[in-house]
Structures are given as C-alpha cells and as structure tokens.
Amino acid sequence: MDAVTDLKRQREEDDNAAAAKPACFSSVIPGWFSEMSPMWPGEAHSLKVEKVLFQGKSDYQDVIVFQSATYGKVLVLDGVIQLTERDECAYQEMITHLPLCSIPNPKKV
C-alpha cells in the first residue's frame, strides 16, 4: 500500500510541476532574447538586446524590460513578448477601432 501511495504522490507532484511551467519557453543568451512557443514548433522569435532595463518577479509573473536594437523598448511577461515600441501603434489601433465603430454617426474623433 505504501508503494502505491508514494507513486500516487509522485504523480501529483509531477502534474503540479508541469502545470506551473509556462507554455512558452524563452531564453536570454548574451546579447539576444529568444521566444519559443509550442504553437510554432521549430521556430523562434529573437531580438538583439542592447540593454536590460529591468528584470524581476512580481507576485504574478516574471517581468523583463529591455532595449532592443530594432524594436525599441520591449516588455516581456512570463517569457512572452507583450509589447514593443515599434509595433505599439498597432495595439492602440486595435483597442480604439471597435469602440469607434460602435458610434452610429461620428462627427469628430
């Protein structure tokens, strides 16, 4: 009975450890940040890092902010790129178009 209990406990610990790991893997090797995701097997998105501006852990996620050679400042949460200065305007457009399209007769925007 003890062997079965030990096996069950080990399986639960393995399941909990797997659940705690992020679905995305990223790495920072000297001078580069690379984001890899199981959604895109065999592919990675890499950015050249000029300077790490902040790296820490909040109560909720791992946070990295760095200056990229081509994308400006980059915000990374839990290993996933969230926002860059270069494509920030696309996010702003997306969050404004839906509300603006709901206005029946916009006169001044």
Per-residue pLDDT of 1-51, as tens digits, reads 555 555 555 555 555 544 444 455 566 677 899 998 888 889 988 999 999
Q: Residue 65's pLDDT band (boundaries 50, 70, 90)?
A: very high
pLDDT score for 20:
45
Domains of the chain, each with CATH number or no CATH: 2-101 (2.30.140.10)
pLDDT score for 21:
46
| Three-class SS of the chain | CHHHHHHHHHHHHHHHHHHHCCCCEEEEECCEEEEECCCCCCCCEEEEEEEEEEEEECCCCEEEEEEECCCEEEEEECCEEEEECCCHHHHHHHHHHHHHHCCCCCCCC
Does the pLDDT value for residue 67 go beyond 50? yes
